[in-house]
Amino acid sequence: MSKKECFLFDEFQEWMGFTIIEGVWNIGGQNPIAVVNMYCFGSLSEKRVVWKEISEARKNTTIKTWCVVMTFLQQVHCVVRSNNLSLRKDIEPTRNT
């Protein structure tokens, strides 16, 4: 299988603060996947709004596997619990200058 056959592109969605690329991951079977690129640079409250929109987008799809990636220009503190990713509310994300 060539590298181009590993992921078959299906749909691209552009939202305020993030994009979603949907497709099929062909390694180990045909698995639908959504890859989310979060690039919001606003305040913590603005990032929470974007995170809520991502959660709502996920509720409105049949795709079960999601991969959320964020830009390297910011640090986001996250907590992982039993396959659920949530933003910590007690820590302000910071930028390296």
What does each C-alpha distance from 32 to 11, 23, 48, 84 come to in angstroms? 11, 6, 26, 18
Q: What residues have CB less than 8 Å from 90, skipping those under 6 apart? A: none
What are the pLDDT digits (tens) for 39-95?
Answer: 877 778 888 888 899 999 999 999 999 998 886 555 444 444 434 444 444 444 444
Check pLDDT > 60 for residue 21.
yes
Per DSSP, the chain holds a count of helices (H) and strands (E) of 2, 6
φ/ψ of residue 94, rounded to 5? -125, 160
The domain locations on the chain are 3-87
Distance of alpha carbon 42 from alpha carbon 83, whole angstroms: 26
Q: Is the pTM of this model over 0.85?
A: no
Does the domain made of 3-87 have the CATH classification 3.30.300? Answer: yes
